[in-house]
Structure 1
Amino acid sequence: MINQKSEVKVFPTNLMKQKETTTKLAIILPGAGYTSQGPLLHFSSGHYFKQEHDVLQVNYRFSEAELNPFDTDGFSANVLHTLEETLKETAYDQCFIVAKSIGTIALANLLKHPTFHNASAIWLTPLLHRDDVYQAMLQYENNSFCIIGDKDFCYREERFANLKSNPSLKTLLIPNGDHSLENKEDVLGSIDMLKNVIDGVIQFSN
């Protein structure tokens, strides 16, 4: 269980390295129930790997019981510790961080850390109802991109509109998209959403 008494630990990771040494890195921070194998993160990982980035997927897992007493600081500290331990033998000049759902909690904290304060950030279905995530998105001065559906339980219309006040933050609202950026009533529509999202990620990353 993650709480204030938890030890700082290293989460399982999957580091996909280029054959030749690269100075470019993409970090994937999944959601609680949406793993790095989910289509949004699977295809984002594939894009960055094709663009000659090393790709680091952080594979934490949480049950509902573990999420209920969720300690934000403890979770973020574990993510940071995992990154530091995994990447301690390497150095990168360029970094993209793609975070989904609860991964955006860790992202909000990572961007304050000297190692990652120049990273480009992609907020996939961010927890807009949380002040820490919302304020981080408003205040971050480097290139960033927010993608959320208007049927997402985390979507807040006023807050989303306010994000446009940050000139470094690009936004994309997906009509009828839920928290998985899908429409459970429309399979083909969901595929179109996925294509739209990944196209946005590709355009943002170029």
Structure 2
Amino acid sequence: MTSETVTADVRGFQGEALPCMVNRHPPGEAVGAALLLPGLRYGARQPGLLYPALLLDELGFDTLALDTRWNVPAFMDAPPEERLAWLREDVLAACHAILPEPGGACVVAKSIGTLGLTLLLHGGAVPPGARLVWLTPLLERPEVRAAIAAHAATSLVVIGTQDGQYRPEWITELTGAGVRVLVLDGVNHGLQVEGNVVGTLGALHALMRELRAFLTGQAG
């Protein structure tokens, strides 16, 4: 199936235009729709989000990849309540721009994007049964871990052992709830093996192999 990049006027916090990349298949040809949420400093063009977007497109999903706009003083220096409202309004606007659509749904979120995904789930914005991919999630936040566990049957968590958000007890908590988890040895929060390009590419390959299996219903 062939998709094309289209323009989209998506407005988030305070009515500001959101940077995003949208790909759509011809009418009636998409198998579903996918939303990709960035990290604070990890945008849509970084490999951990770019390649999942390409895979989803290859599998027949329409995609909206939100780029990061939160790594700015206005966001970083704002009170916690304002940051949360900013994040919530941005991800909700992006979600409404692509989901729900006929067919399956998927959300791929990275780092602070996983907090955004948690907010979407709490607000009922994500279609029931959507596939949820949590890349380097903010596991230090109990509400994120609770959201993952509450959607165990449809969740995939990917995290590295050198990530500051990695704790063996949190992984045990999630796997005990039935969550599918991929732990990448030596990988940091940026989905890299520090000082090892080949190792980083190997981790990316493992991520993509697991993601494809997850999206196509193969056993973990």
What TM-score results when the alignment is normalised by the length of structure 1?
A: 0.88
Corresponding residue number in structure 2 for 1:102 = 112
Residues 66-117 of structure 1, C-alpha deviations (whole Å, 9 max, x = no match): 2243422431132102322x248x7233101000011001111212343414
Paired amino acid for 1:55: T
Q: How many residue pairs align between the two structures?
A: 198
Greater alpha carbon shift after TM alignment, 73-82 vs 144-153: 73-82
Question: In structure 2, which of residues 27, 43, 53 is the aligned counterpart of residue 35 of structure 1?
Answer: 43
Q: Are the aligned partners of 2:92 and 2:125 in contact in 1 as well (CA < 8 Å)?
A: no
Q: Are the aligned partners of 2:160 and 2:191 in contact in 1 as well (CA < 8 Å)?
A: yes
Bigger RCO (CA 8 Å, 6+ sep): 1
Which aligned pairs between 1:115-134 and structure 2 lie closer than 5 A? 115-118=125-128, 119-134=130-145
Question: In structure 2, which of residues 3, 18, 26 is the aligned counterpart of residue 11 of structure 1?
Answer: 18
Corresponding residue number in structure 2 for 1:3 = none
Residues 19-61 of structure 1, C-alpha deviations (whole Å, 9 max, x = no match): 3432401111011111111111111011110111101111231
Paired amino acid for 2:189: H
The answer on 1:204 being equivalent to 2:208 is no
Q: Are the aligned partners of 1:150 and 1:173 in contact in 2 as well (CA < 8 Å)?
A: yes
Q: Are the aligned partners of 1:9 and 1:78 in contact in 2 as well (CA < 8 Å)?
A: no
Distance of 1:126 and 1:141 partners within structure 2: 14
Corresponding residue number in structure 2 for 1:159 = 170
The answer on 1:63 being equivalent to 2:101 is no
Corresponding residue number in structure 1 for 2:5 = none
Distance of 2:35 and 2:60 partners within structure 1: 13
SS at match of 1:145: strand
Question: After the TM superposition, which segments of 4 or more aligned residues of structure 1 sit over 4 Å from their partners?
Answer: none
The CA RMSD measured in Å over matched residues stands at 1.9
Corresponding residue number in structure 2 for 1:78 = 90
SS at match of 2:14: coil
Shift of 1:8: 5.5
Q: Are the aligned partners of 1:9 and 1:81 in contact in 2 as well (CA < 8 Å)?
A: no
Q: Residues 142, 134 of structure 1: CA spacing in aligned structure 2 closer, same or farther, 3 A cutoff?
A: same
Distance of 1:165 and 1:8 partners within structure 2: 41
Distance of 2:98 and 2:132 partners within structure 1: 18
Which aligned pairs between 1:164-183 and structure 2 lie closer than 5 A? 164-167=175-178, 169-183=179-193
Q: Residues 102, 19 of structure 1: CA spacing in aligned structure 2 closer, same or farther, 3 A cutoff?
A: same
Gaps of 5+ in 1: 1-5
What TM-score results when the alignment is normalised by the length of structure 2?
A: 0.82
Paired amino acid for 2:43: T
